[in-house]
Structure 1
């Protein structure tokens, strides 16, 4: 019985494994592996075989990455995907080894001979080990059935005949066909005797509501895969629940001992099929990326782009789609503001449920009326029309898309007509403001902000229509904000004032007046406006957004620390936002000032990256931004800022690593460095990690202490991010995958640059 999932689907299968009658040989425990025996990964070391040669124990590299290996058990005579057990949470590099030591310990060593795993075998010394024809690898004390450890007691995603899933045992799906890391589904034999199929929320590994359970309640219940091919729940010697209703087939019909296996394992019975398009949507995380939609066939999803969109990466369809047209800017001459330039593409039974921002309902609403509602709203990306006379407007980017017969409504996607481009914008001499979330000091993070470009002379702005913002005169702004008289603070290029919107009582705004208007000032301002106007991601600020919960610094460094699970979700959201800036938006953006003060929180504490004033926009063919002068905040600087080196997106990775440590510990790196300690936060964290004292990082945090596996993973990710050599730092996409749990986190080297240096 194999428990498998690809990246997007779960199919719980019973497979007709090419098993032999030798499976039924009882008590077979001949010692074939003696003390001091070892196998080295990536070498010519032969695997340890079972007596019949059906099963092998050793190292395999199933992902295609020849530099990483899994300690595994596999069908030795079956081609293809044939691993039945693995130490899947600890892939190792070439040169690592597994050894039954002279002291009788069964140990996995890395390439530097450091012990990285050792099963619990008790106090009694082991004398030998064996790979059995049942597929069970056993470590023994003597040539007997006195097993000190056996792989059957530690299943990963597969059960074999004569194997049992005992109390508190579980099977976990793999991440993908080639990635054996723990996936999003777990079949668990609970203490109360209930067999439960859970969905797991990554990277926190917390469980969601059970998808399926057996509703049994005997405390000694076990899941049994018997020799006749039946799978059932047993309490003592009683069968109390049949998981399968028929045998997988009599043993004599299975392949003979000398048979050659050349075809995939046939499916005998499919027990549970989960529609991953539906399930992912219910869990709040779409199976497919932005601007795409998921279509399910027998539970297996595929990701598609609507007409007018194309895949971000044809080799990785789940990454999502990009529009093949200029995004709406709501400018006077934009395609989206002129009805003759617009057309609607229709998709039946399709919806993007998490991008609604307005609902129109009326008995008079039909499909054409719904189109008109979207047409009149320049920010409307699509509308969903339902026959119950409802029309839901959708905004960019479209997320959590799904197409299925159980989805009601017709999706109406607004796109420009073919061969239509927006009229060329005229040069204008004007003042520019942008309504946005405030991007500066935490003194006024709860205000909506208006940024204003102002000088004694009016500015001539070329390509002004690309900014995606509304333009007003200075006088209009002065009147609309009741004179913005109260000064809140000063920035590098101007003063920030507080104003009251005369049209909305009780609503305040921040106004940034660029009174020190130098060449760099205009560049900073236009960069900021363009960066915000062109980005569309749930973890980035948008042009019309009110952030009610202030900054991340206020949340982390207050008297009461936020819950551990919430902190992990915030870290993951920030990583996703940076991934978008670095790899997915139309122009690559390096933020250059990632810190908690520049992470804002909405009403649901979703993190939003702000302050693009320091961003370096790169042309499409550029890979690096030239270093000019140091930007950013002390404490979050990457080492290359202090050298004559080019600045790349890896400076953001470094800053994120420092901030991730702050999220873990709820300590400010700046305040920590000014305390009684002589070391910096990153020094202290690495010392705690290397000395196996991670509990000190989350002292008085019981939720985190109960999830030390996640604490260690996040610490390891952070240490990778703060490596001195930028090439050693992972990309933000890789960081996101590690935080999500879809990529392994290798043991990080010691950062070579500490605060003292």
Structure 2
């Protein structure tokens, strides 16, 4: 008996020792079973790792809750290291997170479940674990890891985690808002680790830190449990830090901070302390981080606090967020030369900018010569004078910073020929700056009467909106309780039989068009609900080979979760043998191609601008707002469809290659339409999201002559690095910001 007890005790000790020494990817046990769930305000709001260091679940932020992972140091002090769907609105206290066979599924009130984990098609989840490493993993029935948070970093990597080639970290907005912020750390495919402002084109001029390892083949950024941060190329390493040995229990993490600094931290769990071991870049002056202040503003620092000040003649884009940048407080008209004394140059001392001159720098003898030369140049918006050199600039100016050796001249407009605007100064600026103001005098009586009328109108509208949404909310609650099929139809793609769709489109009689992937037919669904018939468009995929089949399955999982007002919505699908059909909402006003060539009139200027903005928003959604990023690869007027309200929507997305979060390029065969293909296809260069930016630039016709031609030229640059992101395109089209004159599209080739 004693020997048996000794044997059991030996096995127990041996098993414990083995589990402690196991690889971090393997948990001590799978502690989360299928159908386990979490709720924000219950005792089961999170799942803990076996050692209790990490928690996965709901954490409070803003007006609600987010799903994430945090380091549990004490009940009062926790550090968020990962957030799911960080740019979505917070969820309410009624939310439920459940582990289903499809993965982690989030259920919100009055809506169907939404997956926050992307598991491969044909694979079922069986269990999950919050590991001691800070990694949350999902297993199949054989305990193989089929999804893990380490593959989808936000602003942090933990010890044992890898930031792969083409991946990036994006800073948070603030310490209390973990949505995407202003800075990114990119592990580039050329082996260089670089820090950029998010809104920049990621050119060398935009970086404010680089490891200098481009061309050496490094494929990943790694952090080990001793605090060593290094780049790896097969077995060759490049150390960014040395290891930090200590006898205490430490947890290491590397986080891109809200200020754009990438920091390596250690957490002492015995003493409950945190220490910064290394900073990239290692600077004490916060303005050294490019992008700290937005365009047309310059950065100064007082007692370690950043102050962002506007150029003379400019106001903040958002008065509540001075760091977002500035724009002109007047609208220039025509040429900006000094004809009839209509313009003048305002002086801003001791500020320099990163932007490169659009013309060859001039050699001058004084700052007055620089000012005069800039005043006479119609294309010049500003000039930098330094060491008897005059560099002409166009707006927007970027990365303004104190420099005692540089003088900036800004071209401003007089309100009337021969007269200058009134001069004021920004109280928060250390430099006096002239501002153009327009004063309008209203009598007191008119102001009071106007205010009263406006107040009545606002009150009436507020009451109307309140009762309308109260009625809608009650109606939705009734629909949910009754489980009306219409609600399901409005949320998720519906599976159809081939027989149903053949009847709906009347035996493939009415053809709407033919594209690269198949033919589209018009049909009608006869619903049993009171709304009656519904017109649909059915696309029959005709190239059903292995590759097409894989794309079809991917589209079902990806497009089914992709909803945006500028994307054609997928209503359902059919997958029976070789019959594969997609059911879309019907777009009654045809394509943009048909609209452009209409004989009975073309869209007006305002309409063209609106359509261009619709397209830009749709592409931006595909590139940056989807769970799985999508490269369309065939943006053209034929794939831009118009609905009943003449809203432009993008069709045929998801049928080309999908860009996973851990990838930035694909080398597949050429896809797209001649005339809209990016130069990368012919150079055998990587195809990235900016391929769609190029195609967008091609379909931009002249709308506002100056603005959209500039946007189009920027989008159609031969080199991808010079093209803006679709986020920047939306900003240029949507906001009243000045757009600099780009070089010709073939200039950089």
Query: Which category of TM-score, normalised to the shorter sequence, fits these structures?
Result: 0.3 to 0.5
Greater RCO structure (CA 8 Å; 6+ sep): 1
* TM-score normalised by length of structure 2: 0.46
TM-score under structure 1 normalisation?
0.45
